[in-house]
Amino acid sequence: MEENGESFVAVSRFQGLDRGTNCNASSAWIGKGFSCVCAQRREGDARISFDFTPLQEECLQRLQSRIDVSYDSSKVEHQEALRTLWYAAFPEVPLCDLLSDQWKEMGWQGKDPSTDFRGGGFISLENLLFFARAFPKSFQDLLRKQMGNRSLWEYPFAVAGVNITFMLIQMLDLQAAKPRTMMGAVFLKLLAEDVQAFDLLYCIAFMLMDHQWLTMHASYMDFNAVIKATRRQIERELLLEDVQRMEDMPSYRLLVR
């Protein structure tokens, strides 16, 4: 996984698709790309050792095996997952092809979404699919930017999702053999209680990021600051004494099925 996050391109406010969408239609993408700095290691991060149960280690290894999978456009199962994501987002709009300008409507940077998976791997696609299936109302609200007073130039939904996956992996130190931070250790205990903990945390983080976006009256040049604020809030909530599962996080209530 790359040390730097994916670059973003600003996109105008989502206008939606209808049944008659042209297969070659394109969105109005403007502005210069900018790098997400959400995953930069902070100087205050402590690197210490923790003791884990065999179950916790097994759960971590299972999650790491998902993280290690790169998106491979030649694999049928990866292609099908991408198609499934399209129809979860736009159930009544036929997808013309896996290489299509239609993907820009979901917030990918070009007509080939596979080029945007470098920072998050296949798990970032799995996260988006989980979000769409588990919380379809929240997923659609964020995709179509239906909540709050939106900026004229919004963050691109899909690429933002990849960056959130990347941010969480770095924040939780999930690529280490064993987490070396308090945040990683806390999360591993939650993961042992619920194998879907990472996917749930992803949904919470996405909703929280959008909430921060609206609260900060952010525009596309503020995305990195929004991601940093989102990370700080997640860290605070995970460390609360009464958080024994993902559903106990205060920001979980932002999600709507």
Query: CB–CB of 41/183 below 8 Å?
Result: no
Q: What is residue 78's predicted lDDT score, i.e. its pLDDT? A: 97
Best CA proximity match to 221, nearest among 58, 30, 26, 24: 30
135-to-48, 71, 82, 218 alpha-carbon distances in Å = 36, 24, 18, 24
Query: CB–CB of 14/154 below 8 Å?
Result: yes
- Please name the helix (run of DSSP H) or strand (run of DSSP E) that holds residue 30, with its range, or none: strand 29-35
pLDDT digits (tens, 9 = 90+) for 50-90: 788 999 999 999 999 999 999 999 999 999 999 999 999 99
Best CA proximity match to 48, nearest among 154, 149, 173, 166: 173
Residue 104, pLDDT > 60, answer yes
Domain ranges within the chain, ordered by starting residue: 7-43+51-254
Best CA proximity match to 134, nearest among 247, 16, 213, 18: 247
Query: CB–CB of 257/135 below 8 Å?
Result: yes
Q: What is residue 119's predicted lDDT score, i.e. its pLDDT? A: 72
pLDDT digits (tens, 9 = 90+) for 136-170: 999 999 999 999 999 889 999 999 999 999 999 99
Distance CA 104, CA 28 (A): 9
